[in-house]
Amino acid sequence: QDQASGSAGTYDFLVVSNRLPVDRTGGGDAGWRRSPGGLVTALAPVMEKSDGAWVGWHGAPDEELEPFEHGGMALVPVPLSSADLELYYEGFSNATLWPLYHDVIAPPEFHRAWWDAYRKVNQRFADAVASAAAEGATVWVQDYQLQLVPAMLRAARPDLVIGFFNHIPFPPQEIFAQLPWRRQVLEGLLGADLLGFQRPNDATNFARAARRFAGATGKGTHLVVRDATDDAGHSPRAGTRGGRRAGHREVRAEAFPISIDTQRISELAARPDIVERARQIRSDLGDPQTIMLGVDRLDYTKGIGHRLKAYEELLTDGRVKVGEVTLIQVASPSRERVEQYRLLREEVEGTVGRINGTFDTMQHTAVRYLHHSYPVEEMVALYLAADVMLVTALRDGMNLVAKEYVAARRDGTGALILSEFTGAADQLKQALLVNPHDIAGLKDAITAAIRLPAGVAGRRMKAMRRQILVHNVEEWSSLFLARLKEVSQ
Ligand code: G6P
């Protein structure tokens, strides 16, 4: 007890993620604004109610900042140097773990110097939380950049209740096995009381790997692990868990599919200026009969190339015609210093150039390609303008764009083409589900979507909207936190 309270801070609820949920509004000392995204929307009210804080990197390298308040939230910045960015963020997080966890679509690279940096930075995050957390506080660690934090935290602060949520897939054991530091990563995660995943399969994959490579026992996704803190005798919660083996802890791995702030997207979609903007977008494109839309971070997991290939073939076959159909592809810049992302950009931009060079007319374009990110209002206008939404990811933990499109289609029109390799496909069952590797199937799905009878489209869209109106991000966070409370008692 003394050891724990000696280092205790004041916050009862802490969220930890690689990035803080704020962006700078301008250069230098300009202010901050809350980043878009459901996670912060869901958690901000919880923080206000429970004396919470968010711990994370504030987005600029080589800069140390004092904790500050923004929009009623306490923010605790963790500094990253340029070297940390290169080795921990671009390297281990985004060139080792990201491709490994997404079905090795790109080859993961294994470098010991990256791993060392990953460990060191995870320790820094854990230290920041350990000194900010009050006795017995609840800590919720987010995503693959911070998988070692749960065990590091438990070692320093056995009094804490620790949850972890993995926003991306967890790979099958056979693929995960490639990671030279697989045991250490599993042990890091197993420091949590509850591990949340997007799909039941991800939880099962994790549990299998934990049994195989980290000596966990137990059935299904209810795991039992040795508890170092209990052995050493300073776990305040040791002995309070009736019927459990001394020196052991239980860890649950379960699915909690994340969602969006459905209400907010839906409300924006009713705002007259946004509705007008959608009309403007259509007329700027020369009023085609069908607007198709893709919205992705420019990432090789998103299957942008597969989508373009299907579309190019449809144009070549004459099954769709420029002037009648236009594809808007928003590709927001992402991880631009990572080699695979640079290569992807060249490839996508080469393909778009070829398609437009071949099929554009003076008046109309085949692909309106935009390498930008946009504020949520413009995104909703695009969703409203789009008759067909294309989500063709080769692997995606969830895919919130699919859910946002559905949330914006208040009148029940519009067709969603959705890859079966997204977590969202589990919830949006009435979408036109596709295997993006099957180009012939994808082409048929696109033409079917363009011609979908209004009655069928309406029934499907309404069923999907009902799903996400109920299962929104607020429900997601409440379910996770309630379950965390339950399993840690
Ligand atoms: C995915 C990850 C997030 C990450 C986001 C943006 O959604 O699950 O953890 O923050 O991509 O990527 P970035 O590398 O820019 O943070």
Q: Is the pLDDT of residue 4 over 80?
A: no
DSSP string, 65-134: ---EEETTEEEEE----HHHIIIIIIIIIIIIIHHHHTTTSS-----HHHHHHHHHHHHHHHHHHHHHEE
228: confidence class by pLDDT, cuts 50, 70, 90: confident
237: confidence class by pLDDT, cuts 50, 70, 90: low
How buried is residue 485: exposed, middle or buried, by Cβ count under 10 Å (0-12/13-18/19+)?
Answer: middle
Q: Is the pLDDT of residue 436 over 70?
A: yes
SS3 of 458, please? helix
Q: Is the pLDDT of residue 408 over 70?
A: yes
Residue nearest to atom 12 of ligand 1 (CA): 334
Task: Give the strand order in the sheet containing 388-391.
Answer: 367-370, 325-332, 290-297, 388-391, 415-419, 432-434
26: confidence class by pLDDT, cuts 50, 70, 90: confident
- 62-90 mean pLDDT: 96
CA of 167 to the centre of ligand 1 (A): 9
Radius of gyration of the chain (CA): 23
Mean residue pLDDT of the chain comes to 94
Q: By mean pLDDT, which of 7-11, 291-295, 392-396 is the weakest?
A: 7-11
Q: With pLDDT > 90 as the criterion, what percentage of the chain qualifies?
A: 89
Q: What is the pLDDT of residue 286?
A: 97
Q: Is the pLDDT of residue 239 over 50?
A: no
Q: pLDDT digits over 92-135, tens only?
A: 999 999 999 999 999 999 999 999 999 999 999 999 999 999 99
CA of 398 to the centre of ligand 1 (A): 12
Terminal Cα-to-Cα distance of the chain (whole angstroms): 17
Residue from 94, 143, 145, 335 to probe ligand 1 pocket by mutation (most atoms less than 8 Å from CB): 143
* Residue 479 to residue 473: CA distance in whole angstroms: 10
Q: Is the pLDDT of residue 434 over 70?
A: yes
Q: Please name the helix (run of DSSP H) or strand (run of DSSP E) that holds residue 419, with its range, or none.
A: strand 415-419
334: confidence class by pLDDT, cuts 50, 70, 90: very high
CA of 390 to the centre of ligand 1 (A): 20
Chain position carrying tokens 């007329």: 283
Q: Which residue has the higher pLDDT, 41 or 413?
A: 413
CA of 332 to the centre of ligand 1 (A): 12
* Residue 131 to residue 372: CA distance in whole angstroms: 39
Atom of ligand 1 nearest to the CA of 17: 9
Q: pLDDT digits over 170-204, tens only?
A: 999 999 999 999 999 999 999 999 999 999 999 99
Q: What is the pLDDT of residue 48?
A: 84
Q: 385 near 278, Cβ under 8 Å?
A: yes
- CA-nearest of 86, 136, 135 to 109 is 86
Q: What is the pLDDT of residue 47?
A: 87
Residue nearest to atom 14 of ligand 1 (CA): 335
Atom of ligand 1 nearest to the CA of 142: 9
Q: 110 near 180, Cβ under 8 Å?
A: yes
Q: Is the pLDDT of residue 3 over 50?
A: no
Q: What is the pLDDT of residue 204?
A: 98
Q: Is the pLDDT of residue 49 over 90?
A: no
CA of 383 to the centre of ligand 1 (A): 22
Q: Which tokens is 482 given?
A: 């309630």
CA of 297 to the centre of ligand 1 (A): 9
* Ligand 1 cavity residues, CB under 6 Å: 19, 143, 167-168, 334-335
* Residue 400 to residue 467: CA distance in whole angstroms: 14
CA of 17 to the centre of ligand 1 (A): 10
- 244-265 mean pLDDT: 93
Residue from 15, 18, 80 to probe ligand 1 pocket by mutation (most atoms less than 8 Å from CB): 18
- 335-364 mean pLDDT: 98
- Whole-prediction pTM: 0.95
Q: Is the pLDDT of residue 2 over 60?
A: no
Complex prediction ipTM = 0.97
139: confidence class by pLDDT, cuts 50, 70, 90: very high
Q: 441 near 309, Cβ under 8 Å?
A: no
Atom of ligand 1 nearest to the CA of 143: 9
